[in-house]
A and B are shown apart, each in its own frame.
Chain A
């Protein structure tokens, strides 16, 4: 089972990166492979996504939880989840964008 956790910001607007990831899943025709969407609403600490983030020690959104049998694996990398779980190949643009997002010291480039 794959759970996609996406965020609603404290001002009520959607998290841009979460929306971007969701759009990419839609475009690639992979949204149907997501079994459940959990909302992490910053205005509601007890919302499902916020509870999951706290429970799993995740401090950024979006992220994915893959449950197989009794074990849960957390993916904070969309590209890694795509490759390892959905067995789909990320585009070079997706990979490059994620490298930049995950390595903020690369802003020197």
Chain B
């Protein structure tokens, strides 16, 4: 059973101020072919909440091959704690071989992260989502003022839906702050990635993630070398005297 765009819009409004658990319950009730995308970071709270509703939950992680060893250990810890069949989505081996052969192991520092992330994350995710009707993510508005400030609690997935197949994305934590997430982790004795104890907030691949200093935004810890060029594709017309 899917959701029409009108239903998605109505439910987004209805659930905008509801608790993450309500959204997870709705998602699991409405969709059979649904999974949680688990990054190996704070989004572990989704698994803790969801397994209380559906213990045989489908969970996947994007195993890029470049994660920290701490993250791999954490994935195992979560698998055991929640008795999950945690699926690691691996990138296409030939695509990775081509990338490394042609551009080396650290091409992202020079060419930007999109090509590597495309191969190691987006392509495997796209293959997985082609088998699902919906997915649940840990996206939160406070994670990035520039890219997440408008994340709704439910949305039609514009990136992965096709004209033939609508995919619904649930973001139960959209309106939670990092502080609320950590309050939940402590209150419910939820396991967490050891990297958090070393100053990491947002956790991705090892070469592209670094700890942040106190009061620095978590986004500073990811792809920090790209900030200056992030808007490179825009066409900027210099202001003329008449415009000023």
Query: Which chain A residues have a beta carbon within 8 Å of chain B's beta carbons?
Result: 7, 9-10, 15-17, 40, 42-43, 45, 50, 53-54, 58-61, 92-93, 95-97, 99-109
User: Could you tell me which B residues sit within 8 Å of A by CB distance?
Assistant: 37, 39, 62, 92, 95, 98-99, 111-112, 114-115, 117-119, 121-123, 125-126, 137-139, 143-144, 146-148, 151, 158-160, 204, 222-223, 229, 232-238, 240
Residues of A within 8 A of B235 (CB): 7, 40, 42, 50, 53, 58-61
Smallest CB–CB gap between A55 and chain B, Å? 12
Which of B115, B158, B234 touches A103 (beta carbons < 8 Å)? Answer: B158
B151 and A105 contact, CB distance less than 8 A: yes
Contact between B95 and A92 (Cβ–Cβ < 8 Å)?
A: yes
Among residues of A, the one whose C-beta sits closest to the C-beta of B229 is A16
CA distance A43 to B138 in the complex (A): 42
Q: What separation, in Å, do the CA atoms of A45 and B117 have in the docked complex?
A: 34
For B232, give its contact among A9, A50, A100 (CB under 8 Å).
Answer: A9
Give 20 CB contacts A-B under 8 Å: A15-B232, A16-B112, A16-B229, A42-B235, A45-B240, A60-B233, A92-B92, A93-B99, A93-B123, A95-B123, A95-B126, A96-B119, A96-B126, A97-B114, A99-B118, A101-B114, A101-B233, A104-B147, A108-B143, A108-B144
C-alpha spacing A50/B240, complex, angstroms: 14
Q: Which 7 A-B pairs have the closest CB atoms?
A: A96-B118, A97-B118, A96-B122, A103-B159, A96-B123, A60-B233, A104-B147
Q: Which of A17, A42, A93 has the most CB of B within 10 A?
A: A93
Q: How far is the CA of A61 from the CA of B92 in the complex (A)?
A: 29
CA distance A58 to B121 in the complex (A): 29
B39 and A108 within 8 A (CB):
yes
Which residue from chain B places its CB closest to the CB of A98 in the assembled complex? B118
- Which residues from chain A contact B204 at a C-beta distance below 8 Å? 109
Contact assessment for A106 and B159 in the assembled complex, using a CB-CB cutoff below 8 Å: yes
Q: How far is the CA of A104 from the CA of B118 in the complex (A)?
A: 12
